């Protein structure tokens, strides 16, 4: 999944992510559609990572990736940051009754199912 792009002016530039220590994010060198002599880099979620593997609930937002670029000369090393905003989607509740109230008469029934519903949250384990 593409998160962002940046370009450099030196055709010999190589860039990599230096922190955080994770395999979730990667920097990929691609051919620039605008100027082939200017390298373009994409910040991506690694293709081997599934959505379920990303911890949406315990991340600092934004998550800062540190990116290091160099053309091979030790004096030409630059470091920058890229912020990733991790957003957890709200769970989806379905099958609630159309009426807002249900009135029950006093009976001897100890338990009565009024309605059943479902809950879907793609990144959390849900238990009843």
What secondary structure letter does DSSP report for 36?
Answer: T
pLDDT in tens, 45-98: 887 777 666 666 655 667 788 898 998 888 888 888 887 776 666 666 666 666
Query: What pLDDT is attached to residue 25?
Result: 84
Sorted by where each begins, the domain ranges of the chain are 2-84
What does R_g of the chain's alpha carbons equal in angstroms? 25
Query: What pLDDT is attached to residue 34?
Result: 83
Inter-residue contact 62 to 4 (CB < 8 Å):
no
Q: Find the range with the poorest average confidence among 9-13, 53-57, 97-101.
A: 97-101
Task: For strands 92-94 and 63-70, give the pairing.
Answer: unpaired
pLDDT in tens, 16-56: 888 877 778 889 999 888 888 888 999 888 877 776 666 66
The pLDDT of residue 5 is above 60: yes
Tokens 């238990």 locate to 127
């Amino acid at each position: 999944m593409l998160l962002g792009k940046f370009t450099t002016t030196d055709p010999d530039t190589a860039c990599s992510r230096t922190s955080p220590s994770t395999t979730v994010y990667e920097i990929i060198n691609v051919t620039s559609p605008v100027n082939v002599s200017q390298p373009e880099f994409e910040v991506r979620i690694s293709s081997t990572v599934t959505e379920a593997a990303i911890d949406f609930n315990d991340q600092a937002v934004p998550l800062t990736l540190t990116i290091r670029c160099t053309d091979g000369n030790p004096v030409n090393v630059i470091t920058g940051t890229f912020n990733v905003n991790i957003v957890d989607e709200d769970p989806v509740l379905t099958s609630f009754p159309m009426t807002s109230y249900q009135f029950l008469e006093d009976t001897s029934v100890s338990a009565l199912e009024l309605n059943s519903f479902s809950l879907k949250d793609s990144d959390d384990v849900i238990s009843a």
